[in-house]
Structure 1
Amino acid sequence: MNNLLNKFGEKAPMLAKWGKLLTITGGAQVAIQGIGFVSGILILRFLSVEEYAYYTLLNSMLGTMTNLADGGISTGVMSESGKCWRDREKLGRVLATGMKLRKQFAIASLLVSLPILYYLLQDKGLPWWQSLLMILSVGPAFWAALSGSLLSVVPKLHQDIDDLLKINVSINVVRLLVTIPAILIFPLSGVAILGSGVGQVFGNFKLRKLSAEKADWDSPSDPEARKAILNTVKRILPGTLYYCISGQIVVWLVAIFSTTESLAQIGALSRLVMVLTLVKMVANMLILPRYARLPDVKRLVVPRFYQVMLILVTICSSIVLFAGFFPNVCLWILGKNYADLEYELVLMITSGCLSMLSGMAYHLTSSRGIIPNPYAIIASTIAIQVITLAFIVDFTTLAGVISFSIISSAGNLIYRLIHFIYYTEFKKDWSATIDN
């Protein structure tokens, strides 16, 4: 068998290399997502429907706060780091600059997000002191998430896949070992959120140690890198601000216009969509950094984009078909409180797939500096959403809100694909590149 594999590697080295990478990465990601999935399902089963509704709201706002604190910084850091990833000192300056900007953006994020979270919790009838305790429980997870994405830039660029995967596995193991015993003793949403923050804090220490080998974190911030990162932020931030609202609007619509039970149901169905995170993380670790490092050559940049998107569409189609043919298998995982959501399940999986495809299209194009006019894409998406809410769906029902999400994600994906085609075929001057 070893001789056969060696012969295959000699005749098709690229296939053998990618096969090995996908096997190692895929296997580790299955472990990572498997642990995360089990942890999420146990939280779902151990918390009451009411507490899980609060957990859904807190988790949703945590995502919003993290996105606001990023504002396009991680994209700018990845883009700038890709230009100097072999130079430890220069790479350190770029990362230090990004970290400083991230902390500044975090303060603004808190000032915007926390009052909204407090209002939504109060709207559900919680006493003020309980709302404040829940808000405080989000803090550790938020601060940990701020550093995690930037700390992982270095091992991604240097393709230290094995070490990065080990760290990600350890994050999920710590999260599971801390969270489950804690909620067995205190079955509260805030305790579950705190547990996730502990795992990320542990992972950040490991990531910083790993990245220190390739980047000098003691380097001062770089004014030129700051300017370049902020230029990226200026193009991405308007879209980020909008998507902080749009990305969580499903949860917020349910939280405002529907019942606590519906809020728990949307959170429970979201757990099943976590299977897509496996696909997304593999793509982020293996495909996105390599795509960012491609020479600025049309015959490389354009076909690779379509190849990646085609593979993702095939995977997503298979997942939707499975959910449609075997809904009972999926819903059994969630427990008896959520057993009658067959139709909503298929809608939710479809929504998650379209959202992932749109997100990957965004990350692939932005890593090449192909960023559409944020105001145009926001205006078009808002127009679609207003028409959808006014004339197409009933946003007071769970199925209606998820259908709204499907239409929004589909419109966003179509816009990004059209912009990529327009930019690469008509706008960009490829004649200035090394090889056309």
Structure 2
Amino acid sequence: MSGAKDSNLLKWIKLISITGGAQAIVQLTSLLCGLLIIRLLPTKEYALYTLANTMLGTMSLLSDGGISTGVLALGGKVWEDKKKLGIVLSTGLQLRKKFAFFSLSIAVPILVYLLLHHGASILTTVLIVMALIPSFYSTLSDSLLEIIPKLHQDIRPLQENQIKVSVLRLTISALTVFLFPFTFIAIWAAGIPRILGNIKLRKIAGKFTETSNEIDPGVQKEIFKIVKRILPGAIYYCLASQLTVWLISIFGNTANIAEVGALGRLSMLLGVISTMFSILIVPRFARTKESGKALLKRYLFILAAMLVILSGITFIVMLFASQLLWVLGDQYANLEKELVYVMIGYSANVLMGLAIALYTSKGWVINPVYAITLSVLLIISGIFIFDLTKISGVLKLNIFIAVSELMIHFVFGFFKTWSVEKE
């Protein structure tokens, strides 16, 4: 019995070492790339860059709408059958393409308006929108293809691919943005490596699936059941998750947008931990056969572990805020308080995202009517409580909403696992 425990411990140490080491490299190169862009782009250009990347995230969320959750939940049930897993993946990819047009039709007009509103010329706006295409195209399949090796815990090839994409992005950015400090160049530099990485990702996923373009109506129906419950919330959270940038776009100025975007780069310090949990923990939770008290304990332990880690990192940031801001440049040197607010808000959102990922991986979805209603009430309350003409006020609102929604999703996940115990 002791030997089995030792073997299991060694297995986890090896997995964490590989995943953590690889993610440290990925996040470090991403951070260096972000810092390079912050320092090389003029403040106005970086503000436009922040708006474009914010909208790319919105487009990605809208084009998914819960499809990746459905693929993970269904794939977790058939992950050992290459043919069935291939059908689940193929069905998800086809649905994702259909959702892409819906996403573009909503997001692009909004992005065009915001870019023009903050001083971009028509030519610059067109170039920025065109530059987003490679990255957006990759997102249509990246998140689905990654599910396959994650379910099989084939982590090494997945990590190697991510490292290559990150290093290539840093290299291209260093060579191009230095000579041409424009937003659309920085976006192109990120999009091209993602296309190449996407091609490799298809090969990695292909080891565990039979190549097929077959669409299973039954699988599609099951995915749609999840999408119907997630999509309303996904549409809402596309706006709510980027609330900080939207509010500053309305109440603040171009420099404020650049400041929030720059501070957000430092929150990538938490990216290693968040990604490790999504790669190692969530897929295992999805495929576990545990029920009753064991499942509830696993759910609570995972969230408690993440809370301790995030709290520790945030505390370190509080101690060394001035030193961290130094790397961003002199124009961001007086934002110590705002940096701490960003880290607290980001930590709450990461923890909330983990809670959602855990319970949705089992096919459980919170009723969007309740979730959206509570969230809207929180936002309305916060608007009257905080001064939104200041960055600190907007960031406090973000913390208020993130912590409140974290509690909502934690409680939902708790009662769902608790109900399994009672069955």
TM score, norm. by length of structure 1: 0.94
Q: Are positions 1:89 and 2:51 aligned together?
A: no
2:402 alignment partner in structure 1:
409
Tell me how far 1:10 sits from its aligned partner: 6.3
2:119 partner SS: coil
The aligned runs of 1:308-387 (5 Å cut-off) are 308-387=302-381
1:418 aligns with 2:416: no
Q: Is the 8 A contact 1:141 1:198 kept in 2?
A: yes
Give runs of aligned pairs for residues 166-185 of structure 1, distance below 5 A: 166-185=160-179
Q: Which moved more, 1:366-375 or 1:278-287?
A: 366-375
1:163 pairs with 157, 160, 165, which one?
157
Report 1:227-376 matches (<5 A): 227-376=221-370
Question: Letter of the aligned partner of 1:118 in structure 2?
Answer: V
SS state of the match for residue 274, structure 1?
helix
Cα-to-partner distance string for 1:242-282 (whole Å, 9 max, x where unaligned): 10000111101111211111000000000000111111110
Distance 1:157 1:11, change over 3 A: closer
Instruction: Find the residue that maps to 2:79 and give its secondary structure.
Output: coil
Distance 1:335 1:218 in 2: 50
1:140–1:197 CA contact under 8 A, matched in 2: yes
How many aligned positions are there? Answer: 422
SS in 2 for 1:83: helix
Q: How does 1:390-405 map to 2 (within 5 A)?
A: 390=384, 392-405=385-398
Q: Deviations over 1:388-427 (max 9, x none)?
A: 102x1111111111111101101110001121233333x4
- The superposition leaves residues 311-335 of structure 1 with CA deviations (integer Å, 9 ceiling, x where unpaired) of 1111111111112122111111111
The whole-number CA distance in structure 2 between the counterparts of 1:9 and 1:337 is 57
Check whether the contact 1:327–1:345 (CA below 8 A) recurs between aligned residues.
Answer: yes
- 3-state DSSP of counterpart to 1:369: coil
Q: In 2, distance between residues paired with 1:94 and 1:175?
A: 31
Instruction: Tell whether the 8 Å contact from 2:135 to 2:192 is kept in structure 1 after alignment.
Output: yes
Report the Cα distance in structure 1 between the residues aligned to 2:158 and 2:294, rounded to whole angstroms: 27
| Inter-partner Cα distance in structure 1 for 2:4 and 2:19 | 22
Q: Report how far residue 370 of structure 1 moved.
A: 2.4
Displacement, 1:133?
1.6
* TM superposition shift of 1:357: 0.4
The Cα RMSD (Å) is: 1.3
Shift of 1:9: 6.6
Residues of 2 paired with 1:396 and 1:230: CA distance? Answer: 41
1:283 aligned partner, one-letter code: F
Q: Which whole-Å CA distance do the structure 1 matches of 2:172 and 2:145 have between them?
A: 23
1:213 aligns with 2:207: yes
CA contact (8 A) 1:297 1:430 kept: no
Equivalent residue for 2:25, pick from 31, 54, 60? 31
Q: In structure 1, what residue type is equivalent to 2:232? A: P
Paired with 2:95 and 2:422, the residues of 1 have a C-alpha distance of: 33
User: Could you give the per-residue CA deviations for residues 199-249 of structure 1, whole angstroms, max 9, x where no partner exists?
Assistant: 111111111111112112324111111001111101111110110000111
Q: Which residue of 1 aligns with 2:49?
A: 55
The alignment-based identity, stated in percent, is 39
- Residue 202 of structure 1: aligned partner: 196
TM superposition shift of 1:79: 0.7
Distance 1:11 1:236 in 2: 39
Residues 158-214 of structure 1, C-alpha deviation per residue, up to 9 Å, x if partnerless? 111111111111110111121221111210111111111111111111111111121
The structural deviation recorded for 1:291 is 0.6
Distance 1:278 1:337 in 2: 27
Q: CA deviation at 1:296?
A: 4.4
Alpha-carbon offset, residue 17 of structure 1: 1.2
| Residue 12, structure 1, aligned to residue 45, structure 2 | no
C-alpha separation in 2, matches of 1:244 and 1:19:
36
- Runs of 5+ consecutive residues of structure 2 not aligned to the other structure: none
- In 2, Cα distance between equivalents of 1:118 and 1:45: 25
1:314 and 1:294 map into 2 onto residues whose CA distance is 24
Question: Residue in 2 aligned with 1:5?
Answer: none
| SS at 1:230 equivalent | helix
Aligned to 1:51, the other structure's residue is in SS state: helix
**Is the CA contact (8 Å cut-off) linking 1:9 and 1:16 kept in structure 2?**
no
